[in-house]
Amino acid sequence: MNGVAEQSTWLPQDQAPLLLELIGVSAHYDGVLALEDVTFQVRRGDRVAIVGPNGAGKSTLFNVIAGILKPAQGQVVMHGSGPNGRLNVGYVPQRNRIDWRFPVTVADVVMMGRVGRIGLLRRPGRRDREAVASALEQVDMAHLAHRQIGELSGGQQQRVFLARALAQEAELLLLDEPFTGLDLPSQEALLEILERLHGQGITMLVATHDLTQAAQFFPQILLLNRRVIAYGTPEQVLTSEMLGQAYGSQMHAVSSHAGELLLADTCCGGGLPPVEKLLGTRERPQRVWPIRTGRD
């Protein structure tokens, strides 16, 4: 995936101001515990992949941060630039949770991002129309502004929702499995856009099932399985011990002689050779062995 900055461009974030803190957050749906005692911090400019098995609570975490679901316990502390530290959060939900038959144009969808600023009953002004046009430019979708949203490809729809978050002037982007169902070129195009936005200082949390992508393009990874299993750099988080805790003992991480990180799914269905064979191979190992952990 060329054109996307390497991890080395990431500067240590420990001096950047805090943007978001979750402190002992638990959340449930009708008695089903989805998050338990979740504590972590996000600093301004962070780019974090949220990984974990199906049902680990990734979407629930986003719902809590976006204020859609109230935590049963714990606190979500925001250090945004709005009144009382309110954080302007742009949420791009999973594509399969959106009704694409809704008869609206691309520009209409992006204008929805402005509702918080213009109010429900007022008409959009010149500044709003400019914000929509600029957001569509940033995701290379200006030429499709007047198309119906349902007529677009999956990758294009994903970009429109990203534009909506940009028009909202979001400080924090929450992207729930944005790469699911996209072909490789569309994934690469989306990664390049995310890279560009990150360069503009936008903080982002991205839920993904693709550990390879997480390790390659995200300086920080939060490994979740209802609780936080690990949070740190890919090297800190993607260890056999942590992966085993999240996914079960069939998922391993091993280091090659060159200190490169390999990941292997030794599960029967994984379609990959066992770790011992990987280590014995004479071929130059990939930096990260490609595995996928869920349905995307």
Ligand X SMILES: Nc1ncnc2c1ncn2[C@@H]1O[C@H](COP(=O)(O)OP(=O)(O)OP(=O)(O)O)[C@@H](O)[C@H]1O
Q: Determine if 93 is a binding residue for ligand X (CB under 6 A).
A: no
Q: Determine if 15 is a binding residue for ligand X (CB under 6 A).
A: no
One of 22, 42, 47, 59 touching ligand X (CB under 6 A): 59
One of 1, 9, 18, 55 touching ligand X (CB under 6 A): 55
- Segment contacting ligand X by CB under 6 A, of 50-58, 84-92, 97-105, 155-163: 50-58
Q: Determine if 95 is a binding residue for ligand X (CB under 6 A).
A: no
Q: How far is CA 242 from the centre of its chain?
A: 20
**SS3 call for 131:** helix
- Residue with Cβ nearer ligand X (41 or 94): 94
The three-state DSSP-derived secondary structure of 157-205 is HHHHHHHHHHHCCCCEEEEECCCCCCCHHHHHHHHHHHHHHHHCCCEEE
Axis-axis angle for helices 184-199, 126-138 (nearest 10): 130
Q: Determine if 54 is a binding residue for ligand X (CB under 6 A).
A: yes
Task: Name the amino acid, one letter, at 93.
Answer: P
Q: Considering only CA atoms, which of 248, 257, 179, 246 is closest in space to residue 216?
A: 179
**Binding residues for ligand X, how many (CB under 6 A)?**
13
One of 20, 46, 57, 132 touching ligand X (CB under 6 A): 57
- Residue with Cβ nearer ligand X (138 or 213): 213
What is d(CA 59, CA 237) in angstroms, rounded to the nearest whole number?
20
**SS3 call for 117:** helix
- Segment contacting ligand X by CB under 6 A, of 26-34, 128-136, 185-193, 253-261: 26-34
- Residue with Cβ nearer ligand X (60 or 156): 60
One of 48, 56, 174, 202 touching ligand X (CB under 6 A): 56
What is d(CA 250, CA 259) in angstroms, rounded to the nearest whole number?
22
Give the DSSP letter of residue 115.
H
Q: Determine if 294 is a binding residue for ligand X (CB under 6 A).
A: yes
- Segment contacting ligand X by CB under 6 A, of 27-35, 140-148, 184-192, 197-205: 27-35
- Residue with Cβ nearer ligand X (56 or 152): 56
- Residue with Cβ nearer ligand X (15 or 54): 54
Q: What Å distances lie between residue 175 and 27, 180, 286, CA to CA?
A: 20, 11, 27
Cite the DSSP H helix spans in the chain. Answer: 58-65, 106-112, 115-118, 126-138, 154-167, 184-199, 211-217, 234-237, 240-247, 275-280
Q: Determine if 225 is a binding residue for ligand X (CB under 6 A).
A: no
Question: Taking the complex as a whole, how short is the minimal distance between the CB of residue 275 and ligand X, in angstroms?
Answer: 25
Q: Determine if 285 is a binding residue for ligand X (CB under 6 A).
A: no
One of 22, 34, 144, 170 touching ligand X (CB under 6 A): 34
Q: By the 8 A CB rule, do 174 and 205 touch?
A: yes
One of 1, 11, 24, 29 touching ligand X (CB under 6 A): 29
Residues in contact with ligand X by CB under 6 A are 29-30, 32, 34, 52, 54-60, 294
